[in-house]
Structure 1
Amino acid sequence: MIHDAPLATTIDDLRRDRVSVDEYLDTVESRVDAVEPNIESLVPEEDRWSRLRAAAADLQSRFPEPSTRPPLYGVPIGVKDIFHVDGLPTRAGSDVPPEALAGEESTAVRTLREAGALILGKTVTAEFAYFEPGPTRNPHDPAHTPGGSSSGSAAAVAAGLCPFAFGTQTIGSVTRPAAFCGIVGVKPSFGRISTDGVIPCTPSVDHIGFFTQDTAGAAVGAALLCDEWRPLPAPRDRPTLGVPEGPYLRQASDLGLKSFEEHVSRLERAGYDVERIDAFEDIDGINSRHNRLVAAEFALTHEEWYGEYPGGYADTSVELLREGREVSTADVAAARRSRRRLRAALHDRMHDAGIDLWISPSAPGPAPEGIDATGDPVMNLPWTHAGLPTVGLPAGTTDDGLPLGLQCAAPFGDDESLLAWAHDIADSL
């Protein structure tokens, strides 16, 4: 059920009229009809294709000349169903009435609309972007989870239903599903993409991210979405890579660690210098502080909705909400301080060791079997806690054909270098 749909190639084909927008939508509709019943990545929508064709007709009438077309002219995109989109309800994977959750269109969505993108539709999310999964299955093997909470977005991109889809990450909801689905997942530095118009999970940690199949397309998406993007020349020197040795890395499974060491060896054979550096000695404390912060802010965010619609929440979300009510103000403050301190500590380690990027497994291992859970985000948590930019890259498969991923992290605010270096790293993997 995997199908090639690289964003950079799609952009070029549509803008240059190698394929018309109408022809491309016909192809997408056929692909959705063939694959979607097996993976359930999209939120059902009755008039999807008439809506899309009307939007395509308007776009084509406004930009008949290729030279005037915006950068994402005619590109269909998926939007995680916690983003508000004009004309589409927001359910957030819950049973809370959509009219109660309604809000103004997401700034990020509006940015891509203005860049010429068409909204394929809402993609399935775990309830309120936490852990209660939706029905989505992994396109590589429907018996396995696609990850979460951005499950539908990752599965839709991997299956070639759209070449770009939005996700969010509060713990590991972009990097992990990207790894499980064998695609690229970008989580920019905290705050570089506006969260306006997105239902929050944990406002002080929520990151807007996205998925593509290709690093070239990921660079296009980052340049359009990230505030104050600074174009860089193609890098001439390879970055020095750092492996965070210690208790953090030991959280991966035996298979995950074995695969990661193979990835490191592959990069070394390709000419990369790799340094092994002690890091995250307090990983249990970092995990605890982050999870308590998530619970506390989730409880505060959802207090009013849950009070009015308690039956609209699954047990997993209710448990988090109740846990969050027990977190003290002092613990919340300590967790927020922890984020700044961890970021500074990682920067100091990078400077002292002379490394440019950290590399680590994108997940403890390949996608677990079953869709009743979305997998463990523990390998993503400290990078999210620190707010560093990360890109998850496809890194081969297991003997069973399940994808594996490599996670790269750069200093805070250096998203441009991260995306520039990602191309060669991905090729080397």
Structure 2
Amino acid sequence: MESLVRPIDLTRVSEDLRTGAIDPREYAAATCERIDHLDGVVQAFVPETGRAGRLHRAAEALIASGAEPDGGRPPLFGVPVGIKDIVHADGLDTRAGSALPPEVLRGEQAVVVDRLVAAGALVAGKTVTGEFAVTAPGPTRNPHRPGHTPGGTSSGSAAAVAAGMVPLAVGTQTIGSLIRPAAYCGVVGFKPSHGRIPTDGVLPVSPTFDTLGVVTAGVAGAALAAACLCDDWRPERAGSGAPVLGVPDGPYLGFAEPEALAAFEEHVALLRAAGHRVVRVPMFEHFEQEAFDLVIINLYEVARSHAGWFDRFGTSYDERTAEVVHQGRSIAESDHAAAMERRDAFRDRLAAETDRHGVDLWIAPSATGPAPAGLESAGDSVMSLPWSGAGLPCLTIPAPRPPGALPLGLQFVARDGDDERLLGWAPELERALSPQETVTVGNRKDNA
């Protein structure tokens, strides 16, 4: 069987499209051919009749806009982008991986799509999401091994990039729905600070945590996309010098599988060898209570987000999503308010510890281990829980692994609002973790 893993460098293809080395009509046609060829196995895209004609017309309109090569073409000119199917895009239904009638979910085009279009991008189509981006997995398969999960509810976006169907995809993260699938699929995932990309036009899950982000093959592509999508992006804020990296020792890291934790320590050693200062800090002493508060907030808000739909269409929900809604409905408003207060205190403690130890970036495994076998579970989101709960910017970079093993990701987490610094440091961090396929994890040759 031919390899399904052929990620495309966004920075290179965007440069070729801007300079005229590639015709956007030809690239749009090639994109549709790749989707047609690969998606029968990967199932990253929501099926669409007439995709090729729609994309050709969009590329024609882009050319007719008059922007000349090297003469003002926007940064994502002609770049096809996958859009997670809880994000409204004009001309395409939003189904959210559900059985609800699409007219019930209809809404105005999302601000993030407006910004992509303004940057010259073409909407390649909707990428598959788990139902309502809550918990029930969609049909997407991991391009590295189709019998393994691609991860959480941004699974279609991560798999589409890993398989080279598109060089850029938009996902969302409430707890771990973007970082984990990007790690499982061996690509880069970037979740900005909460609120940095407006969520107008996106179906809500838990608004306290919901964050839009991007999936690309490399960190330079993530920075290119972030500059187009984030509010008030200022390149001059980019980090310089070598960041101080913090390892959050304690109960949190104990949730990683033993082999993933062994790999993490080898990745830390690589960063040290590249000249990065690493400090180990006892953290999250009361992690179970802190995690419980974040789960309470999430469940309560999911139930409120679905109040109208669930009353009308509850029998059409996947039983796993329905159970989340029922759990959320059992939580009192006062319990949610108390959990929010404790969450704010948690954010303050985390910020204080970050400052006290001079940490620029926290580092941790992106997931508890490699992608599990089977498609019934999307894996565990716990490695993203504290960072998403605090609304911090997170980046997962593919990390070294044994030959033939499933991907592992290393997660880097910055202070709130330090998105530019995080992505400014990212190229050097990416280089420190290359080449891949070289690390022995524990005593095994394969993580599967």
Per the normalisation by structure 2, the TM-score is 0.94
Is residue 407 of structure 1 aligned with residue 405 of structure 2? no
2:167 to 163, 171, 174: 163
For residue 306 of structure 2, give the secondary structure of its aligned residue in structure 1: helix
> 2:48 matched to which residue of 1?
45
For residue 232 of structure 1, give the secondary structure of its aligned residue in structure 2: helix
Question: Is this contact kept in 2: 1:242–1:274, CA < 8 A?
Answer: yes
Question: Is this contact kept in 1: 2:29–2:56, CA < 8 A?
Answer: no
For residue 87 of structure 1, give the secondary structure of its aligned residue in structure 2: coil
Is residue 361 of structure 1 aligned with residue 402 of structure 2? no
Deviations 1:309-346 (A, max 9, x none): 12221001110000001112222112222332222212
For residue 235 of structure 2, give the secondary structure of its aligned residue in structure 1: coil
Is residue 28 of structure 1 aligned with residue 31 of structure 2? yes
> 1:211 matched to which residue of 2?
215
1:209 Cα deviation after fit: 1.0
1:273 to 252, 270, 277: 277
> 1:95 matched to which residue of 2?
99
1:398 Cα deviation after fit: 4.3
> 2:178 matched to which residue of 1?
174
Is residue 13 of structure 1 aligned with residue 23 of structure 2? no
Q: In structure 2, what residue type is equivalent to 1:65?
A: E
> 2:442 matched to which residue of 1?
none
Q: In structure 1, what residue type is equivalent to 2:409?
A: G
Number of aligned positions between the proteins: 429
Q: Percent of aligned pairs with the same residue?
A: 49
Query: C-alpha separation between the residues in 2 aligned to 1:64 and 1:204?
Result: 40
> 1:183 matched to which residue of 2?
187
1:318 to 298, 322, 332: 322
Question: Is this contact kept in 2: 1:232–1:420, CA < 8 A?
Answer: no
User: Superposition pairs for residues 410-425 of structure 1, below 5 Å?
Assistant: 410-425=414-429
For residue 400 of structure 2, give the secondary structure of its aligned residue in structure 1: strand
Q: In structure 1, what residue type is equivalent to 2:228?
A: L
Q: In structure 2, what residue type is equivalent to 1:21?
A: P
Query: C-alpha separation between the residues in 2 aligned to 1:96 and 1:178?
Result: 28
Query: C-alpha separation between the residues in 2 aligned to 1:367 and 1:395?
Result: 14
Deviations 1:64-123 (A, max 9, x none): 511121111000000000001111000000001100010000001111111110000000
Query: C-alpha separation between the residues in 2 aligned to 1:91 and 1:146?
Result: 20
For residue 368 of structure 1, give the secondary structure of its aligned residue in structure 2: coil
> 1:247 matched to which residue of 2?
251
Query: C-alpha separation between the residues in 2 aligned to 1:81 and 1:396?
Result: 31
Q: In structure 2, what residue type is equivalent to 1:69?
A: R
Q: Which runs of 5+ in 2 are unaligned?
A: 434-448
For residue 296 of structure 1, give the secondary structure of its aligned residue in structure 2: helix
Query: C-alpha separation between the residues in 2 aligned to 1:145 and 1:188?
Result: 24
Question: Is this contact kept in 1: 2:396–2:410, CA < 8 A?
Answer: yes
User: Superposition pairs for residues 261-340 of structure 1, below 5 Å?
Assistant: 261-340=265-344
Query: C-alpha separation between the residues in 2 aligned to 1:287 and 1:355?
Result: 22
Q: In structure 2, what residue type is equivalent to 1:175?
A: I
Query: C-alpha separation between the residues in 2 aligned to 1:234 and 1:315?
Result: 45
Is residue 134 of structure 1 aligned with residue 138 of structure 2? yes
> 1:56 matched to which residue of 2?
59
Question: Is this contact kept in 2: 1:38–1:137, CA < 8 A?
Answer: yes
Q: In structure 1, what residue type is equivalent to 2:310?
A: Y
Question: Is this contact kept in 1: 2:240–2:425, CA < 8 A?
Answer: no
Question: Is this contact kept in 2: 1:343–1:412, CA < 8 A?
Answer: no
1:231 to 235, 242, 248: 235
Question: Is this contact kept in 2: 1:188–1:390, CA < 8 A?
Answer: yes
1:19 Cα deviation after fit: 1.1
1:232 Cα deviation after fit: 2.1
1:373 to 364, 372, 377: 377
1:235 Cα deviation after fit: 4.6
> 2:349 matched to which residue of 1?
345
> 2:445 matched to which residue of 1?
none
Moved more, 27-36 or 191-200: 27-36
For residue 171 of structure 2, give the secondary structure of its aligned residue in structure 1: strand
Distance 1:12 1:283, change over 3 A: same
Query: C-alpha separation between the residues in 2 aligned to 1:187 and 1:235?
Result: 17
Query: C-alpha separation between the residues in 1 aligned to 2:430 and 2:342?
Result: 32
Q: In structure 2, what residue type is equivalent to 1:48?
A: R
Q: Which runs of 5+ in 1 are unaligned?
A: none
1:257 Cα deviation after fit: 0.2
For residue 198 of structure 1, give the secondary structure of its aligned residue in structure 2: coil
Query: C-alpha separation between the residues in 2 aligned to 1:398 and 1:377?
Result: 23
Question: Is this contact kept in 1: 2:366–2:396, CA < 8 A?
Answer: yes
Query: C-alpha separation between the residues in 1 aligned to 2:326 and 2:77?
Result: 45
For residue 309 of structure 1, give the secondary structure of its aligned residue in structure 2: helix
1:10 Cα deviation after fit: 1.1
Question: Is this contact kept in 2: 1:343–1:388, CA < 8 A?
Answer: no
